[in-house]
Structure 1
Amino acid sequence: MTSEQAERNGVLDDVCDHAARLISAADPRLHRLAIRTGDVAVELEWSPAAAPAAPAAEPPGALAAPAEHGLAGPEPCEAAGRDALHHVCAEMVGTFYTAPEPGAEPFVAVGDEVRAGQQIAILEVMKLMTPVGADRAGRVVEVLVPDGTSVEFGTGLIALDTSVQAVGTPG
């Protein structure tokens, strides 16, 4: 084996490792993953139950993930105790951040009222910053995870008291 072949095999091993991590971090409805190493391209295709995705031409040298990759995520996290308490949960594996950058004010603090869809945190996944939005209106009761902590799919991030109607939300 030449050094060029060994280098190519090493790159392929790295790409496969990253693909496996991406698949494990993805929603279980992931249907296909295609990776192109020349000029770097990553394509994700979700099953029809998730969102309609236009079929993408598979680039040369792409890796395809099987339709069922056997990774069942945990049950959706639920807040224990009060009926009006709701946990906003991690939708992927990543690093949880409460602010847009180090030293900046957090997106939300305990006592803040939030609207459904309002950004309340960030999850960093493979160097990509993904906004975390409140999935319902309420008042922030507790930030459940320290800033900069690695979280798993389904981890409760922020507790909301949903009995409080957020400002600007129809009641």
Structure 2
Amino acid sequence: MTSGRAEHNGVLEDLCDHAAQLISAADARLLKLSIRAGDTAVELEWSPATAASTAAPPGVLAVPAQPVPAEAVQAEAVHATATELESLHYLRAEMVGTFYSAPEPGAEPFIGVGDEVQAGQQVAILEVMKLMTPVEADRPGRVVDVLVTDGTPVEYGATLVALDISPQACRNAG
């Protein structure tokens, strides 16, 4: 059950990464993003004025959606408006390693959901061959989600932490 859950989370993370690449490569305005991990589905809704004239960006493979069984559509569906997506910033792994959310086993995590962070503030550790490298926020914001479980191996570029960088979230964090 645990390996199935980890695989499910990996699929969801991959979907989010690919959706973020698609969104950043497209020059049209995105209205809605819906992601499901059970039997995999991604739905992007563009503004009507640009939907007809917008082709898939170079390097992006457009794949027709496959039907998703009703039992796969669960509470894990993610919906976000374009404004919410624009205010999110992801801290990514700058190297391959093991992600640690706290300075040592049993200690309080560096950050939690809802915490405000400053640019340069340590938010995690990446360990490679017993070398502990701090992961620091590259801009101020409010932690929306810690996307990696403590002790999980990560690859270069993996999304680690989601920050809300909207002016409202950064009012006290900047």
Q: Taking structure 1 as the reference length, what is the TM-score of the superposition?
A: 0.51
Residue in structure 1 matched with residue 114 of structure 2 by the alignment: 111
- Which is richer in helix? 2
**For the pair shown, which has the larger CA radius of gyration, 1 or 2?**
1
- Measured after TM superposition, the shift of residue 116 of structure 1 is 0.6
Quote the residue 2:97 is aligned against. 94
Q: Select which of 154, 165, 168 maps to 2:170.
A: 165
State the AA in 2 paired with 1:167: N
Task: Using the TM superposition, give the Cα deviation of residue 126 of structure 1 relative to its aligned residue in structure 2, in angstroms.
Answer: 1.1
Once the two structures are superposed, residues 58-96 of structure 1 have per-residue CA deviations (whole angstroms, 9 ceiling, x without a partner) of xxxxxxxxxxxxxxxxx9x76976101011000000000
Contact 1:137–1:166 (8 Å) recurs in 2? no
Contact 1:86/1:162, CA 8 A, preserved across alignment: yes
**Superposed counterparts of 1:4-153, under 5 Å:** 82-153=85-156
* Number of residues of Structure 1 aligned to a counterpart in Structure 2: 95
Give the Cα separation in 1 of the matches to 2:116 and 2:148: 19
> Secondary structure in 1 aligned to 2:86?
coil
1:138–1:102 distance in 2 versus 1, CA, 3 Å: same
> Unmatched 5+ residue regions in structure 2?
1-17, 24-79
1:139 aligned partner, one-letter code: R
Cα distance in 2 for partners of 1:93, 1:158 equals 16
- d(CA) in 2 for partners of 1:156, 1:115: 18
Residue identity over aligned pairs, in percent, reads 65
- Rounded to whole Å, the distance in 2 between the matches of 1:79 and 1:114 is 28
- What residue identity is the alignment partner of 2:163? L
Cα offset, 1:168, TM superposition: 5.6
Give the AA of the match of 1:94: G
Determine the structure 2 residue equivalent to 1:52.
Answer: none
Distance in 1, matches of 2:171 and 2:108, equals 20
Moved over 3 A (4+): 77-81
